[in-house]
Amino acid sequence: MPVIRAMSTRANDGSERRGGRAGREGGPGGRPQREGRAGGRDSAHGMDLTTDPGHDSLVDVPGGVRLQKVLAAAGVGSRRRCEELIGEGRVEVDGEIVRRYGARVDPDHQIIKVDGRRIPSRQDLVYLALNKPPGVLTSMSDDRGRPTISDFLGDRAERLFHVGRLDYDTEGLMLLTNDGELAHRLAHPRYGVAKTYLADVAAPLPRDLGRRLISGIELEDGVASADKFRVVEQAGSRALVEITLHEGRKHIVRRLLAEAGHPVSRLVRTRVGPVALGNLRPGTTRALTTREIGELYAAVGL
């Protein structure tokens, strides 16, 4: 496992240059020297960089997993690419930049970030996107035998939480995870995670409809408003509009547009925060990418 990194030295003119060619990288083609080949020591200085306090001060977790292995398992990149990220100072553990390839960490309890974005380091956590078809309950079971979202998840061993809800007749993007803290924050109005919908509504549309929706419309349980609104297309008696809002009240999009005089005949959620529905087919799931998970963490302050 690599233990030597290319360190920056400062030339006489004050600029930085990489010192790996002087023996710090050691391996052919500038590759980091590995344990067993050089005993985990800097051959130029006789210094053990796995414990050098000037390198970084993170305390290794006894029995922990090597940092680059955790990064690779989380989907950050190949083991070699993860070593490069560590050497470039782009990885931090519990708020501290770590520059040792061989640093041992606890992926179940420590917070690991790359370029400031948290990564899903726990291997037991699952993050899925589902394209919910219409006529399906946002529930894991139903005593009346109606279709539920669990019908599309297969025989998964994990207990998954659905993040928020979609109405029975509403279709589109749902997030599912067994990361309880993330699911709770994504659904909590305090964090204001935006959700975007495409709605088929009655036309023609008045030119001031977007302004009215963004300004707010009084409903029976208080004022509701959109964050963004645009007309995608309009033809005859129907129009397709896109509406973004961070509210989570029941039937909020349908009620808001109906109160504005444009009842919804079809509603599809296309985005939750940074995660887009894309080309995901109805009734199918996909695993979220490492980047998407990191952006969801960031959106709710985790």
Rounded average pLDDT per 10-residue block, the chain, 302 residues: 38 41 40 39 38 65 92 90 92 92 90 92 91 93 90 84 90 94 87 94 92 94 93 92 90 94 95 95 94 92 86
pLDDT of residue 4: 36
pLDDT of residue 39: 37
pLDDT of residue 6: 36
pLDDT of residue 173: 97
The whole-model pTM stands at 0.76
CB neighbours (10 Å) of residue 192? 14
d(CA 142, CA 121): 34
pLDDT of residue 41: 39
pLDDT of residue 153: 87
From 212, 233, 234, select the one nearest 223 (Cα to Cα): 212
pLDDT of residue 40: 40
What amino acid positions are annotated as catalytic residues? 167
* 3-state class (DSSP) for residue 239: strand
pLDDT of residue 55: 65
Phi, psi angles (nearest 5°) of residue 285: -125, 160
d(CA 16, CA 8): 6
d(CA 220, CA 182): 31
d(CA 277, CA 132): 10
53-62 long-range Cβ contacts below 8 angstroms, 24+ apart = 55/99, 55/100, 56/96, 56/97, 56/98, 56/99, 56/100, 56/103, 57/96, 58/93, 58/94, 58/96, 58/98, 58/100, 58/103, 58/105, 60/103, 60/104, 60/105, 61/104, 61/105, 61/106, 61/110, 62/104
pLDDT of residue 121: 87
